[in-house]
Amino acid sequence: MQAIDQKLLRDFRRLWVQAIAIALVLACGVAILLTSIGMYSALSETRAAYYERNRFAHVFASAIRAPLSLVPEIADIDGVLSVSARVTGEAILDIPGRSETAVGKILSYPDGGDPLLNVPLLIAGRFPDPTRPNEIVVNAPFAEANGFHPGDGFSANLRGQKRDLTIVGTALSPEFIYTIGPGAMMPDNESFGIIWMSERAAAAAFDMDGAFNDLAVAIASGVQTASIIDDIDDLLEPYGGLGANDRSTHPSNAFLDAEIAQLRGMAAILPPIFFAISGFLVSMVMGRIVALERSEIGLLKAIGYSNTGVCLHYLMLAGLIAVAGVLLGWAAGTYLARALAGQYAQFFNFPFVIFRVPFWVYAVAALAGIMTTSLGAAQAALKAARLAPAIAMQPPAPPRFKRSLADRAMEAMRLSQPTIMILRSLLRWPFRSFLTGLGLSLAVASVIASFFMNDALDEIVDLAFYQTNRQDAMLLFDTEVPETVITEISRLPGVLQVESQQFSPVILRHGHLTKRVALEARQPGSDLSRVLDAAGAQVNPPPGGIYLSERLAGALDLQSGDIVEAEFLSGQRETHDLVVTGLVEVHFGLGAYVDLGYLNRLLRQSDRISVANITLDSHSKDALHEAIKELPRVSGIVEMDENRRSFQETIETNVVVMNTIYIGIAVLITIGVTYNAARIQLSERARELASLRILGFGRGEVSYILVGEMMLIGVLAQPLGWFIGAWIAQAMTNSFSSDLYTIPLVLNPATFTTGSLVVLIAAFFSVMIVRRRLNNLDLVAVMKTRE
């Protein structure tokens, strides 16, 4: 081993604390890159394999009642590989030991074997026997949440007929990876379940003998779905077709798409920040090392080492730091990606997980880490290579300073000498001070980027559950019913107030842009379910007008006053032009709102509703649920308190994990920046500080110079950190936005305060660790060192 190689290892051992501080920051970037891409890869590959193995369909359609003789015609459409027709419906469930009602989605299971598409994966038991109409299979999460096992049972209200059902098995389906009930905002496996029933029994229950009302279609690879969807719509239109759609609008698949897009956005936004900070820290440390080792550099060149060898020596020192950070990041990222992928599998009801972080991700992470640290060290390494031996053996020329306006101002303010030394240091090395402050700013930004989610979710809950939806429960009907049913609903036990609402599936068109949405209609002045403008005031769409959410209007390139074409997918499938009369803010779904009376007149139908919003006497809930279990037309009930609780519990768990990770990241950044900057300050100013001690300054006054300078930089870095944090939060809200939901940008003062406190406290403790070295400072030895 050559002498220069031995020096390399000695330098690395001597700087191991600073090296680890930098390596931890670099490891954060590598770990986040591996975690986000690893989870992205796991979700994508697991979904693809699950879809392929269980033959998840490409196109979905529904109708009121279509004959089975139509299936061969659909199968003959060019590009169609296979067709699976079935019977579906909703039912109120009466679960033993549970006073609240549950909702079940009934699916027919072929009597002759497995379905051609959307094949359920049996987890336990067996599939229903066609000769036993009361046998069913339920989805595994519903069974687990309610403690069901094969042999257990419950009752279901099937079109007014109460039937006792026996569970013979549990299963999972690619169609219900993300299982969300009608009217719900988050999965609730205890209150909503998927039920597979024999084809014969389901057809008899829903009056579908020789008919179907749900269709799944698989198409050949490379075939465009648009033309196939048009052909299916044409065939189903006479039978009450509600419009075919592809995977992109399938609820379960759409939620997965949104989650995968978030992971992709996280991989693009966060890792570059950590790589940049690592490069900056390496630049600081290597620059100081070269400055302190001028004589050693001169000796190395004097005994024959070339400029290239000296340059590579310092680049290799930075490379060792990079290797340490990359190895730590690889280990942490692989562990986190695997652990989080398992949690995602449970949350999304996958039967298995394919976890495989591609080799190229490790290679890219390592290359990014090594490149950033090398770039950070490049300037110092090149400076070392350019030093001539004779010049390197001499001390550097002292910097030339002159009195400036700032010096006169400090003198006029009669500041103490330690304070003047702090301010002069900042003014004489402004670029270095700026880079140190930038690193601390990014630490502040990481906390703000995480904690803004708390405020955003609070606003979502307030808007969704307290301002717009103020009802206690929603009663859902299996089909549209006359509005006179409101009178019957008002007589149910515990019902205090009832309001009507209607949801109609429509396709909105503006030029070449289209969106399929559920058009909401309500009476003017509704108190329980309201439409609010951007200022929070209730608005009522005028007859002939339509209110759109801001996201829907943006997707269709619409503004107030424009005309939008609405094709109704129910009833006579009419098309009407509506005037956009206002835009509203909506966080869940794509909202479109009209006046209920106007809609009924437009479609030339008697007053119809599909939902009844109610307020309840809390003491009569059990009696209400018992009454609902016997009603023939009610397909479900959504209790808003339970909906809100499920939403908050699910989100809060994720937020706590995310906040913990981001605070840890901020602390690591702060320690890396502050510790290294303070060590450099101490090494540069050791002679000055020792001189002050000899002149009679106490330890506290000398420590104040070191600690005060770093804390002043930390305080000055806060506004920039607030700005960067707000920018990152804005980027995150944009990446999290989808047709299913959007995250509002809410930045409260408490969020900025939290970010600043976390960073300033971490910075203080980091610099205090360095400050302890002042107690052990050998004044005589320091004073003997050359300038």
Q: How far is CA 191 from CA 2, 124, 208, 416, in A?
A: 72, 21, 26, 70
Short-list 245, 225, 242, 246, CA closest to 77: 225
Phi, psi of 66, rounded to the nearest 5 degrees: -115, 145
- Would you say 44 and 702 are in contact if contact means Cβ atoms under 8 Å apart? no
CATH label, 495-616, candidates 2.40.30, 3.90.550, 2.40.40, 3.40.50 = 2.40.40
Q: Return the SS3 of 139.
A: strand
Residue 127 gets which letter from DSSP? P
Q: What is the pLDDT of residue 333?
A: 84
Short-list 692, 681, 687, 698, CA closest to 770: 681
CA dist 399 and 397 (Å) reads 6
In the chain, CATH 2.40.40 sits at 495-616
Q: What is the pLDDT of residue 782?
A: 52
For residues 444-465, b (16+ Cβ closer than 10 Å) or e, as one string?
bbbbbbbbbbbbbbebbbebbb
Helix axes 640-694, 699-716, angle to 10 degrees: 140
- Residue ranges of the chain whose pLDDT lies below 70: 1, 185, 266, 292, 390, 392-404, 406-407, 650, 652-655, 657-658, 684, 686-687, 692, 695-696, 735-741, 774-787
Phi, psi of 528, rounded to the nearest 5 degrees: -90, -45
| Dihedral sign (CA 298, 301, 305, 310) | positive
Q: What is the pLDDT of residue 87?
A: 92
Residue 150 structure tokens: 């094969």
Phi-psi group of 349: left, alpha or beta (phi > 0 → left; psi -120 to 50 → alpha; rest → beta): left
Short-list 553, 20, 37, CA closest to 271: 37
* Per-residue three-class SS string for 411-431: HHCCCCHHHHHHHHHHHHCHH
- Would you say 197 and 136 are in contact if contact means Cβ atoms under 8 Å apart? yes
**Which residues, listed in sequence order, are joined to residue 506 by a DSSP beta bridge?**
517, 568
Q: What is the pLDDT of residue 681?
A: 75
Residue indicated by tokens 């301010």: 423
Q: What is the pLDDT of residue 461?
A: 79
Give the chain's length: 787
CA dist 437 and 430 (Å) reads 10
CA dist 160 and 654 (Å) reads 41
Tens-place pLDDT, residues 590-646: 788 888 888 888 888 888 888 888 888 888 888 888 888 777 778 778 888 877 777
CA dist 502 and 521 (Å) reads 5
Residue 331 structure tokens: 């280990």
**Residue partners of 752: CB distance under 8 A and separation at least 6:** 448, 722, 725
CA dist 646 and 641 (Å) reads 9
Residue 480 structure tokens: 């549209």
Instruction: Give 248: exposed, middle or buried? Use CB within 10 Å, 0-12, 13-18, 19+.
Output: exposed
Short-list 120, 124, 123, 100, CA closest to 110: 120
CA dist 604 and 602 (Å) reads 5
Tens-place pLDDT, residues 441-477: 888 888 887 778 778 878 877 887 788 888 888 888 8
* DSSP H helix total and E strand total for the chain: 24, 20
- Would you say 286 and 381 are in contact if contact means Cβ atoms under 8 Å apart? yes
CA dist 502 and 445 (Å) reads 44
Q: How far is CA 600 from CA 478, 501, 505, 522, 595, in A?
A: 19, 12, 14, 11, 9
Q: What is the pLDDT of residue 401?
A: 61
Q: Residue 646 corresponds to which amino acid?
A: S
* Per-residue three-class SS string for 430-462: HHHHHHHHHHHHHHHHHHHHHHHHHHHHHHHHH
CA dist 436 and 438 (Å) reads 5
Give the predicted TM-score (pTM) of the model: 0.76
- Would you say 447 and 754 are in contact if contact means Cβ atoms under 8 Å apart? yes
